[in-house]
């Protein structure tokens, strides 16, 4: 059972000390709870669908370390595999057979990937794929979508979502104008705006990059025909289509969004799930494009910890677990129960709300909607979300501390966890 009330004295003390040691007291901005109020809890340990803070409080977790924990935290088979790998060393900085094994699994699963390069984060994967798409097409401009987040590289910090949206920063100081002068933006789910950009920049656009299901402006699904339309437009204009599946890869389907929607991009970025909770990223795609990456080709990219044996081990075991029959059916069922339940409770308690889910990814906006893009998402009542978040937290349910973040489930979550969460949500929404 989760707690019905919490005391966070130790968390408050630790966070107060952290603010003198690290900017904002955190190692990544959204963790600071700036958009939801109050102070963050400080984690002590995690297991399955649950987390415990340093004060001993237990919570049902719907953040899942921001997506990787699709099997649940500290899955015993993943931990056992890591213990065995640890005995062989924590880092090689040289080839290992583990890279081959995970590469084959990724290539077999993801429709667009014929070759893959492992890196250390989603940001790094997106940086690599950006350089590659420009080199392959010999063009400089790219199109991204408002509210889509592709890491914190300079070129991508234009109308980004996630932490930038949460903190109310339109872009970021320290990013020179020259770094973003070749970045074009369009509203998500708006094909006509993309067509216009291609017309205005003929033979100058290297490619289009997007989250096929947005998770960094809250959960936003693609409209019917949107991804297909982008595929046609990029073909027509000799540009590349890149799916940033750092969040959706192996989460909304084993083969990612491209399997789910039947649209195959030229290049794909991955992260989160493929590292089983350890730092990892990857980019891959067509063999003729990936063959340009050094040392096979002239496009340089390197990393000391790339292909780290611990990350490869955790990723291999995680993907093995996801292949068990019925896994994604279960994820779909419990997540739909959660998402639909939250919407029904909001309706019954008089709060305009919209949202939805795909497999193990969900979202809730406090606005009547519909939310088709970032501009729509910004109409949400963020103050109400902050109160909702705090109420859920104080009754043992940990949600992403931002209106502009998707939520995640795992196959460690039980039907009872979902029912408990909805019972808490009813109490909290009734008092908002």
- Catalytic-role residue among 144, 272, 317, 378: 272
- Whether residue 46 contacts residue 19, with contact meaning beta carbons closer than 8 Å, is answered with no
- Whether residue 378 contacts residue 403, with contact meaning beta carbons closer than 8 Å, is answered with no
Give kind and range of the element (H or E) at residue 362.
strand 361-365
Residue 4 has what pLDDT? 53
260 catalytic? Reply is no
Q: How confident is the model at residue 1 (pLDDT cuts 50, 70, 90)?
A: very low
- What is the C-alpha separation between 404 and 400, in angstroms, rounded? 9
| pLDDT > 90? residue 166 | no
With CA atoms as reference, report the closest residue to 58 among 391, 398, 424: 398
| pLDDT > 60? residue 44 | yes
The 10s digit of each residue's pLDDT in 168-188 is: 344 677 887 777 889 999 999
Give kind and range of the element (H or E) at residue 18.
helix 9-18
Distant-in-sequence, close-in-space partners of 196: CB < 8 Å, separation ≥ 6: none
Which residues sit opposite 317 in a β-bridge? none
- Catalytic-role residue among 50, 59, 62, 149: 149
- Whether residue 147 contacts residue 174, with contact meaning beta carbons closer than 8 Å, is answered with no
Burial status of residue 119 (CB atoms within 10 A of its CB: 0-12, 13-18, 19 or more): buried
Burial status of residue 224 (CB atoms within 10 A of its CB: 0-12, 13-18, 19 or more): exposed
- Whether residue 180 contacts residue 155, with contact meaning beta carbons closer than 8 Å, is answered with yes
User: What does the angle CA 248 – CA 254 – CA 256 come to, to the nearest 5 degrees?
Assistant: 35
- Does domain 105-303 bear CATH number 3.40.640.10? yes
149 catalytic? Reply is yes
- Whether residue 366 contacts residue 352, with contact meaning beta carbons closer than 8 Å, is answered with yes
Ranges of each domain in the chain:
105-303
Q: How confident is the model at residue 335 (pLDDT cuts 50, 70, 90)?
A: very high
Q: Distance of CA 302 to CAs 122, 246, 295, 407, Å? A: 15, 19, 10, 32
171 catalytic? Reply is no
Total-model pTM? 0.95
- Catalytic-role residue among 53, 244, 376, 417: 244
- Whether residue 421 contacts residue 388, with contact meaning beta carbons closer than 8 Å, is answered with no
Helices and strands: H and E segment counts in the chain: 15, 14
- Whether residue 253 contacts residue 243, with contact meaning beta carbons closer than 8 Å, is answered with no
pLDDT above 70 coverage of the chain, percent: 96
């Amino acid at each position: 059972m989760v707690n019905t009330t919490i005391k966070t004295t130790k968390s408050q003390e630790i966070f107060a000390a952290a603010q003198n040691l690290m900017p904002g007291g955190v190692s990544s901005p959204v963790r600071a709870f700036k958009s939801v109020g109050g102070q963050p809890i400080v984690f002590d340990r995690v297991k399955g669908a649950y987390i415990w803070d340093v004060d001993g409080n237990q919570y049902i977790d719907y953040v899942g370390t921001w997506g990787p924990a699709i099997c649940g935290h500290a899955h015993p088979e993943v931990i056992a595999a890591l213990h065995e790998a640890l005995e062989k060393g924590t880092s090689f900085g040289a080839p290992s057979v583990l890279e081959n094994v995970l590469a084959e699994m990724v290539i077999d699963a993801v429709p667009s990937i014929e070759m893959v390069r492992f890196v250390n984060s989603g940001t790094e994967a997106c940086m690599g794929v950006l350089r590659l798409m420009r080199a392959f097409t010999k063009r400089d401009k790219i199109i991204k979508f408002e509210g889509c987040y592709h890491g914190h590289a300079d070129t991508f910090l234009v109308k980004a979502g996630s932490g930038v949206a949460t903190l109310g920063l339109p872009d970021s100081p320290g990013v020179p104008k020259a770094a973003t002068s070749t970045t074009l933006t369009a509203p998500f789910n708006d094909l006509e705006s993309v067509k216009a950009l291609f017309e205005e920049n003929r033979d100058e656009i290297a490619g289009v990059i997007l989250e096929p299901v947005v998770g960094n402006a809250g959960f936003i699904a693609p409209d019917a025909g949107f991804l297909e339309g982008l595929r046609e437009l990029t073909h027509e204009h000799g540009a590349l289509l890149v799916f940033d599946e750092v969040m959706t890869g192996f989460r909304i389907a084993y083969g990612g969004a491209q399997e789910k929607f039947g649209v195959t991009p030229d290049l794909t970025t991955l992260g989160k799930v493929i590292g089983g909770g350890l730092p990892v990223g990857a980019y891959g795609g067509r063999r003729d494009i990936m063959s340009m990456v050094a040392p096979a080709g002239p496009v340089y990219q390197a990393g000391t910890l790339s292909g780290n044996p611990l990350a490869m081990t955790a990723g291999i075991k995680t993907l093995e677990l996801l292949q068990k029959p019925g896994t994604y059916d279960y994820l779909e069922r419990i997540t739909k129960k959660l998402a639909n339940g939250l919407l029904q409770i909001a309706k019954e308690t008089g709060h305009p709300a919209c949202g939805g889910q795909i497999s193990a990814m969900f979202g809730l906006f406090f606005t009547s909607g519909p939310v088709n893009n970032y501009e729509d998402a910004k109409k949400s009542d963020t103050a109400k979300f902050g109160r909702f978040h705090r109420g859920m937290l104080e009754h043992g349910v940990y949600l992403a501390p931002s209106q502009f973040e998707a939520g995640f489930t795992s196959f460690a979550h039980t039907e009872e966890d979902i029912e408990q969460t909805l019972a808490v949500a009813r109490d909290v929404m009734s008092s908002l």
